Amino acid sequence: MTHAFVFGKFLPFHQGHAALIDFARRHCDYLTVLVCASNHETLPGTLRAQWIQDTYAHCPEVSVQVLDYREEELPNTSVSSEAVAHVWADTFREVVPGVSLVVTSEPYGALVAARMGIRHLDFDRVRAQVPVSATAIRQGMRAQWSYLPAAVQSYYRRTVAILGTESTGKTTLTEQLAAHFGASFVTEAGRDLISDSTSFNRADLLLVADEHARRIAAARTTAGPLLLLDTDIHITQSYAQLTQGAYLPVPAETYVRNRADLYLYLLPDVPFVQDGTRLPAAERLHLDEIHRQTLSDFGIEYKEIGGDWPARFQQAVALIEEMLRAAGTL
């Protein structure tokens, strides 16, 4: 039986790493993926390992292991050096005993193998098959988004929910922001399933909650670094509170699917437009109060967006850019 291993920082894990792992899988019976995490790195090795475990959950022959190390004790360099390779090889011998093959895309792989007394296989050292590197991704994740496996995309993707009472421009702002950021967005299910917001029942609201959650789940499979939601489950719950005096009994998964990283709440300080399907103007303001209470009941913190239409757009863009910058995806 051939027990092989691959090693790296996987910071972050990308499709080039996956190609290396797949190549190694074809040349062994059992594969250990060793995530080397330095004490000077902020992204935990356990998180990087989880990305790989999620990606290879269907492959029982693949196991993932984390090697936490101190840079003061192990050299943190990608430069090929026999001395450095020997230090790492001696560590690998202790961490993954019994291996007979190491697979790498780096010239120092052969040096490690020689020190350990095992075979070495070289894979696509010039990155011809998957032309990407972790360094390139860290320098411009948005441009390299397609090279990230689904598990990694899920970690870096940010979701923004656009909330507010009726006739505050939620749909218009969502579409403007989607165009500005080149982002995906989820349309409001209530608009499609309830033609008149003055005439609906509890069953209608349950249908809206289920359909909106389904749309969000579908959008997450293809969305880029930013996903925008035109309203969410809390707004649906608010309508239930307004008309039924009680919240809907929805599954916990519905809230998970609706989770956002940033909630923008549009103030009712723009002219009310009655299109024939909306609540009367006075009830619109009452609904605004119910919305706020609902968000408070569910522990949702939000940023208020007010002013004229251009001001709303500018405020929203600034808040989203701040969030994306912090995530490293701007």
Question: Does 77 share its domain with 137?
Answer: yes
Question: Does 11 share its domain with 125?
Answer: yes
Question: Does 115 share its domain with 229?
Answer: no
- The ranges of the chain with pLDDT < 70 are 78-79, 196-198, 272-282
Produce one character per residue of 91-106: b if its CB has 16 or more CB atoms within 10 Å, e if not: bbbebbeebebbbbbb
How buried is residue 37: exposed, middle or buried, by Cβ count under 10 Å (0-12/13-18/19+)?
buried
Domain count, the chain: 2
pLDDT reported for residue 281? 62
pLDDT reported for residue 197? 67
Domain of 246? Answer: 157-327
Domain harbouring 282, CATH code:
3.40.50.300
pLDDT reported for residue 96? 97
pLDDT tens digits, one per residue of 244-302: 999 999 999 999 999 999 999 999 998 766 665 566 666 778 999 999 999 999 999 99
Question: Does 140 share its domain with 193?
Answer: no
CA distance 92 to 7: 9
Q: pTM value?
A: 0.90
Domain harbouring 48, CATH code:
3.40.50.620
pLDDT reported for residue 199? 75
